[in-house]
Amino acid sequence: MVRLLWLLAAACGGSPSISIPERRTEPVAGAADIVPASALDPGKCDDVPNIRLEQLAVGVHRGERVALDLIPKARVVCTDRCRGEYVLDVDGRRDLLLMGIRGCEATDDGYLCEPFGTRPTTRYRFVGTYDQPRRLAENFTFAIEKYCRVTPPST
């Protein structure tokens, strides 16, 4: 199809111009780091085992209620319109999709990423259930039940 459009433009004496949708993976505007009021106090998420992200890749605790300590990352993709979600890289090939929270959308002023902002720096303990993909190319999902601020370690 692209080749046909190029040939038609060239035959009519025009310069072929093809618009390719822009793809982004990082949000570029909006509040950088937001600590939402819905984040529970530290300790309110200590009622389940806290696992490491690396354990997801091998299927430990699949389908169980667990906690993960992490800093969420906002990922925005722009094709016809911009939208996004909060994710975390699991193994360099697949992401952990944080389900049950809003995510990102385009606005007239840039991006609105809720509840954590466009570039979160605050660590949270997320409590929920994760599912491992059936196929290698699919992403992991983590259905969030609640999340708490994690107290930074004292130095």
**pLDDT in 10s for each residue of the chain, 155 residues:** 333 333 333 344 444 433 333 444 454 556 788 889 899 998 899 999 999 888 877 777 888 999 999 999 998 888 778 888 999 887 777 788 999 998 988 877 677 889 998 889 999 999 999 887 777 667 889 999 999 998 665 44
Question: What domains lie within the chain, and their CATH numbers?
Answer: 21-149 (2.40.50)
Q: Which residues contact 35 (CB under 8 A, 6 or more apart)?
A: 122, 149
At which residue do the structure tokens 């091998």 appear? 58
Query: Rounded to whole angstroms, how far apart are CA atoms 54 and 89?
Result: 10
Q: Are 60 and 51 in contact (CB under 8 A)?
A: yes
| Nearest CA among 101, 29, 110, 106 for reference residue 70 | 101
> Which residue has 């130095």 as its token pair?
155
Total-model pTM: 0.73
Sign of the CA dihedral 121, 125, 126, 130?
Answer: positive
Q: What gap in Å lies between CA 111 and CA 44, rounded to an integer?
A: 31
